Amino acid sequence: MKFRQDIYKIGLLIIGIVFVSFVLQAWLPHKSNNIFSLMMVLVGIVSFYGAIGLGVNAKDKTLSKPDIRLAIAISLITFYLVLVGTTSFFVRARTLPEITETLINHTTNIVGVVIAFYFGTTAYEAVHKSGTENTKGNEGKANGASDSPE
């Protein structure tokens, strides 16, 4: 239950960052994209370190490789969703600047590659782990061991 509450806190913090950024953008007299840039940086940092914090082992304060991969995937997906949502629904210009279009295209490619590697590595580790367990079981049977007690 504590884990779920921590996830909700991180999500609410990210939503709060986005909301405050939109309020500041509407409130400030000069219309600058600096606030949106700062929002994107904060969303990336909060989502990454929040996911890292969720993956840390409470006893010995260690972090495993799968937890690091998960944190990277979560932070990139969160960053991507906020980026696309912001540029799609809240930018007033009819055409986006060239740099924004380039950023969205490249971020789409990066997120696609990260997701593919994340799921590919997870599947590889699961197959490799089950293959190792099967090999150990077969070696014992080859040496005369059986599953049934005698």
Tell me if residue 92 falls in helix, strand or coil. coil
Whether residue 87 contacts residue 100, with contact meaning beta carbons closer than 8 Å, is answered with: yes
In a domain, 20, yes or no: yes
CA–CA separation, 13 and 69 (whole Å): 22
**pLDDT bracket for residue 143 (50, 70, 90):** low
In a domain, 94, yes or no: yes
Q: Which domain holds residue 59?
A: 2-126
CA–CA separation, 68 and 99 (whole Å): 30
Looking at every residue in the chain, the average pLDDT score rounds to 82
CA–CA separation, 141 and 36 (whole Å): 63
CA–CA separation, 145 and 117 (whole Å): 39
pTM reported for the whole predicted model? 0.73
Predicted pLDDT of residue 75? 92
Predicted pLDDT of residue 149? 52
Query: Domain tally for the chain?
Result: 1
In a domain, 105, yes or no: yes
